[in-house]
Amino acid sequence: MSQRDRQLLLAHLLGVKAPELYLKMEEEVPLQLLEEYEKSIKKLEEGYPLQYLIGEWDFYGRTFKVAEGVLIPRSETELLVEKTLELLDSRRDYTGLEIGVGSGCIAITLLLERERLFMYGTDINPKALELTRINAENYGVSQRLKLLQGKDFEPVKGLRFDFVVSNPPYIPEGLWETLPEGVKLEGKDALIGGKKGWEFYERFAQQVGDFLKENGFFVLEIGHDQGQIVQELLKDYSPKIFKDYSGQDRVVVGWKS
């Protein structure tokens, strides 16, 4: 366990931000809090995610509530947000869709960065939708976000969007047992994409054309080894693969022309 994790945990228990910890160095820590700290350290050492322990995590410079059973925001996914924002003119109105909102960090970040944007968000997990609703209220964007329960495009039949974004499940089923126990707590539906792992992109390729406006686009996160297969599946949309900061394939962008 890193020193950083210990600091974040202690800061959470003390009700301060990590950089403010040094201001508390001379204060006596209550015994009850020390006991809670020791219990929490034990849980972390057993593999329980720090994000769930403190109930929040940072994404794109903002803090979002997180909970067991819902995907934890990861820094790699910030590339998906960056690529989407590059294609959104701040002076224009847009209607977007996020498939699989999870904690809502992607849709809410886009709404905060583009004030003329309206978003729809879908998820099969009611817990994810509730968490997104809480995060949206915390950031004051609830009026520009409509949440619907269901799989893929099912809840938005008949609608068309300027763009679609998603960080879908893309881990092959056979790898489930190899995942750390802490990662498994995020939920099988949020992580496992099917036997091959890329089943979502197969379905997406068949359906997205019916839901995009002319000249609309999509931005999807992909597995580090899925660039070639995803590019082939989405070949009708002039797909372009972008690598993350560690040099791994991470995001695919495509256009309806």
Domains of the chain (ranges; CATH) run 3-46 (no CATH), 60-255 (3.40.50.150)
**Residue 169 is labelled as binding a ligand:** yes
The yes-or-no verdict on residue 180 having pLDDT over 90 is: yes
Confidence at residue 101, expressed as pLDDT on a 0 to 100 scale: 98
Torsions phi, psi of 243, nearest 5?
A: -95, 150
1: confidence class by pLDDT, cuts 50, 70, 90? low
Q: Is 85 exposed, middle or buried (0-12, 13-18, 19+ CB in 10 A)?
A: middle
Q: Report the candidate in 71, 170, 73 with the shortest Cα–Cα distance to residue 128.
A: 71
**Residue 103 is labelled as binding a ligand:** yes
Q: Which segments within 45-178 are labelled E, that is strand?
A: 56-59, 62-65, 94-99, 117-123, 145-149, 161-166, 171-172
**Residue 30 is labelled as binding a ligand:** no
Confidence at residue 228, expressed as pLDDT on a 0 to 100 scale: 95
**Residue 216 is labelled as binding a ligand:** no
Torsions phi, psi of 2, nearest 5?
A: -80, 160
**Residue 120 is labelled as binding a ligand:** no
Q: Which segments within 36-180 are labelled E, that is strand?
A: 56-59, 62-65, 94-99, 117-123, 145-149, 161-166, 171-172
**Residue 73 is labelled as binding a ligand:** no
Torsions phi, psi of 74, nearest 5?
A: -125, 150
Token pair of 106, please? 């992607």
State pLDDT tens for residues 23-65. 767 777 788 888 988 999 999 999 999 999 999 999 999 999 9
* This prediction's pTM: 0.93
Question: What is the residue-averaged pLDDT of the chain?
Answer: 94
CA 203 to chain centre: 20
3-state secondary structure of 254: strand
Residue range 112-134: mean pLDDT, rounded: 98
Confidence at residue 106, expressed as pLDDT on a 0 to 100 scale: 98
**Residue 121 is labelled as binding a ligand:** no
State pLDDT tens for residues 70-118. 999 999 999 999 999 999 999 999 999 999 999 999 999 999 999 999 9
Residue range 156-182: mean pLDDT, rounded: 96
The yes-or-no verdict on residue 22 having pLDDT over 80 is: no
Q: List Cβ neighbours of 94 (8 Å cut-off, separation of 6 or more).
A: 88, 114, 116, 117, 118, 162, 163
9: confidence class by pLDDT, cuts 50, 70, 90? confident
**Residue 104 is labelled as binding a ligand:** yes
6: confidence class by pLDDT, cuts 50, 70, 90? confident
